[in-house]
Structure 1
Amino acid sequence: MRTQVVIIGGGPSGLLLSQLLYTKGIDSIVLERQTRDHVLGRIRAGVLEQGMMALMAEAGVDARMKAKGIAHHGTLISYDDTLFRIDFQKHTGTSVMVYGQTEVTQDLYAAREAHGGQIEFEVAGVTIHDADRDAPYVTYTVGGQERRIDCDFVAGCDGFHGVSRNSIPQRSRREFEKVYPFGWLGVLSETPPVNDEIIYANSERGFALCSMRNDQLSRYYIQCSMADKPQDWSDDAFWQELKRRIPQDQAAQLVTGPSIEKSIAPLRSFVTEPMRWGRLFLCGDAAHIVPPTGAKGLNTAASDVHYLFTGLCQHYLDGTDEGLERYSEKALARVWKAERFSWWFSSLMHRYPDQSAFDLRMQRAELEFLRSSDAAQKALAENYVGLPY
């Protein structure tokens, strides 16, 4: 087989890139290790930046998002019983959209299938060959049969544990990592959200987050030890702990119910440089990971897709490679800003095991400054709704 772009990874970033390329007449084939149902079963972020929404529109897959997504014009931050609001409209004139990653992926699968997009599921042994030369190709097996795809470029959208990053020789890349000493215990429940807007809560017992997928599906998190296991926490224990970490008036109106999903997510900051090796380009979690505080994971993947899509269009339609040559530079410049915001917001809202009394006072002072300063709130709002591409 031959195609112009092989996309490794059938998650939202790989599918979005494939759909965008289709709109410009550029061929691609998507290779996915898991089944379609497995990909759609992943519970992930649900807050879309302005840039991600614009890409969905450009790809022609924003109709359901507009109909079912929930526009958020601000967010709430609490410490102890103090609750204050960051007004996105006031500070940026824009908003974010609460729309689950599963919904995004479903929309993209539907679009690719409607337009005859080629997606290979349950592939194994994916190997990238000659990415540092002019004629790369990818080999893999599916259903016990060996296959080969010759191509012009390879887009590695296969996540942190995928083959793409590890196909770049270690001597040609540098990795930066911070592992946080706690995780997030998350619960999904068929209950109305405690508030119309997302609550980020700092308490002496640790961080908590009150979010939602729709008006009858809520997503809640509490900071926990990485030694914990989901089964260590009964639903009742989770709800009781969540109530202790959010303001009393919010706790009083919290509607609880059985969890339909419960998991613990580790927190990590990770970046690999560069994000390009020859004709192999890394996108999303294959190149970088952010803590979930501030919901930047899917959105940084979207910005990568924007830069790569732009570069590929320039190559095929305009005959220039400037966008591809500068892909890594442009993508990393924005990635590091998102990493900074996620690191700062995580540092502000969580309790760390080695925090001194002085550290705690500084954290409180930072929260009080944020509550009282328009300039600080504007900086948070600009980062939260998404920095420009």
Structure 2
Amino acid sequence: MEYKNNTKFLIQVKAFYGKYSVLLPWLSLLWGIISSFLLIRDYSKSIRLSVFTLLFLFFIISMSTWYSFIKNSSSDNIQNLKKIQKSLHKRKDLFEFFGSTATQYFVQYIFMFCLPFVYFKKSWFWFVLLLVFSLLTLWDPFWTRLFRYSFFRLLLRFLAFYLTFSFSFVVLFPKSLDVFYNLLLVFGILIIFPWKRIFSHNNFKWTQFISTSIMAIIMIIHAFLPYEFKFPLLSIWIEDARFSFEKPKSIDFKSIDTNKIDKKYFLGKMNSNSKLCSITPIIAPIGVSYEIIHEWYVDNQFIDKILLPEVKGLNNKDKFNTYSCKRYFPNIKNAKEIRVKAFLKNGIYIGQDSFSIKSD
């Protein structure tokens, strides 16, 4: 009697799932968006983020091994499998669901935790790329299909590691900023290297070789890009950047409240010998101590570089120290945009701010 009741219950559950399963991707997407706002993001979470990344790498490598096992376990050789392998093969759908779901959860946490920091950096190429991948992890139909492809799993491994490393490295090693991108390249190559092919006796696959080669080429090209186009260092950023026609000597100084300024007003200020100041408060982990550089641009043309005093991580007194001022600009009457980019003294990009000048 109990068996019949259980069977009836399972049939009802299956029917309910078949009827409403179409809603699951939307629920997953909704929860992913909500959870991205509920996450608490601070430097104390760097260890947790690192642990989640290690778990993610474990699961994604396990799933790659699992897919290889299933693919090689054809109907012809399944009888040659050991008893435990046959048992696993019979439950392949269950193991695939568990492994895929666990991997999806960990990678979602990594992406949702780090994505706002990419936005703060205004690294728009990386932000859009990571946003697309985040949406792919939230939309179950895409995730289920794409996760079976080794190249997609390789990309996930690569991006998840880069996100975690770029946030956690400076938190854990604040005195080692000069070697950040060197270590990012080294560990990135180790992450994408096909270790399984070295330690296993499986046949060589050209598809995996091509995938790994493509990723290696991308990483090498990335190493030679200008700093502002490289994968951003996430744990140091600019908060509440602004421009002003007066130095921020007090908290109540008057700043420009818009990213568009009237041309007559702007030229009037500059002709009255006022200085234009760019204030870029830096947020950094404890232990970071570095000089900042401001690069000034008019209509994307570089005009000046100014070295600022040293800032220290999480020191509120440094909040208004990261500013620079200029009085004279070339061809200012025809200028349409003024932009300031902030870098560490070693060249690592921190962020930028800009405003446009409206014509009459």
Task: Output the TM-score relative to the length of structure 2.
Answer: 0.25
Q: Quick one: higher RCO (CA 8 Å, sep 6+), 1 or 2?
A: 1
Counting helix residues as a fraction of each chain, which structure ranks higher?
A: 2
Which of these two proteins has the greater Rg computed from alpha carbons?
2
